[in-house]
Amino acid sequence: MLISKLHPDEVDVHIADVAQLVADQFPQWAGLPLTPVKSSGTDNVMLRLGDDLVVRLPRIASAVPSLAKEVKYAPMMGAQLPVPLAVPLAEGVPGIGYPWPWTVSRWLPGETPRPGTASPALARQLADFVTALHALDTGAAPRDELTSYRGAHPGTTDDAARAAIANCEGLLDVAQLTAAWNTVKLARESAGTPTWIHTDMQPGNLLLSDGRLAGVLDWGGLAIGDPAVDLIVAWNLLDAPARAVFRDAVAVDDATWDRGRAWALTIGVVAYPYYVDSNPALAAVSRYQMGQVLADIS
């Protein structure tokens, strides 16, 4: 079985080949069934391995450094944060025609949330998690490998945002999106100290159990920069009442909040036309977060 693709430059990933990779490199797990995981993620193929493990393989070359970053930093993060992370247990090497490193991690149970359904209690827990992450000591972490465009001001994406808005012609109200972007991109620059940032706090990277946060996935985008980008969860998951609870609990200044809202709009509008056909789950999240930003500033 060939895993369906999301990108034009994506490698072929056959489940039978992945089974052979596992058997060749980690014989202790040979013969365990492999089951594709439904995910709104875009960088990695995920296959559940037996009941307790998950295999992740980069889809595209640009995702390979992110996986290496996750291998290096997720264990350290997992020891200091209040909910479990998907920490890699083993790193595989290329083989059977697959060209890049890949990982096996512990399977974290839980369900990904649907936008607009989060409770005030979950909003407070998300705020606690984000606050804890941003409070971690960056110490002597090498900034050259922990730089992300999402750690800068959202206005740096102006060209990409405008191009994406143009690509929404016939799908969304382009004039409304342009006016909104012209407003939110004017958020004041950060005057604070750079922090650890996840950079992709969206529903597909969150796990819930009984309505509570039970895990945070995909640490390949980990960086050090402006903490505003991690506030995007306020618009891609929360509704207006829960967002108010989150804002009160996360206790950031108005400028940081405004930059978070700008990031929510630009990330949403860039993703939507690209994934509207190939990844409906992510497109739905993108459309929701754009709608929440529009409602916020109307």
For 6, 86, 216, the CA distances from 77, given in Å and listed in that order, are: 29, 10, 11
Taking residues 109-132, report their average pLDDT: 97
pLDDT tens digit sequence for 42-91: 889 999 999 999 999 999 998 899 888 888 998 888 889 999 998 899 99
Q: What is the pLDDT of residue 152?
A: 97
Q: Which domains does the chain have, with CATH numbers?
A: 15-106 (3.30.200.20), 120-297 (3.90.1200.10)
* 3-class secondary structure, 270: helix
Is there a contact between 9 and 62 (Cβ–Cβ < 8 Å)?
no
pLDDT score at 7: 84
- In the chain, the amino acid numbered 136 is L
pLDDT attached to residue 112: 94
The whole-angstrom separation of Cα 10 and Cα 89 is 25
Whether the model pTM is above 0.95? no
Q: What DSSP state is assigned to residue 76?
A: H
Reference 72, options 82, 56, 87, 55; nearest CA is 87
The answer to whether residue 40 scores a pLDDT higher than 70 is no
Q: Tell me how far apart the terminal alpha carbons of the chain are, to the nearest angstrom.
A: 48
The Cα 216–Cα 203 span in angstroms is: 10
Phi/psi region, residue 251 (left: phi>0; alpha: psi -120 to 50; beta: rest), is left
Q: What are phi and psi of 94, to 5 degrees?
A: -55, 155
CA distance 149 to 293: 21
Residue 83 · residue 213 · CB < 8 Å = yes
For residues 206-229, average pLDDT? 95
d(CA 28, CA 262): 47
CA distance 208 to 108: 10
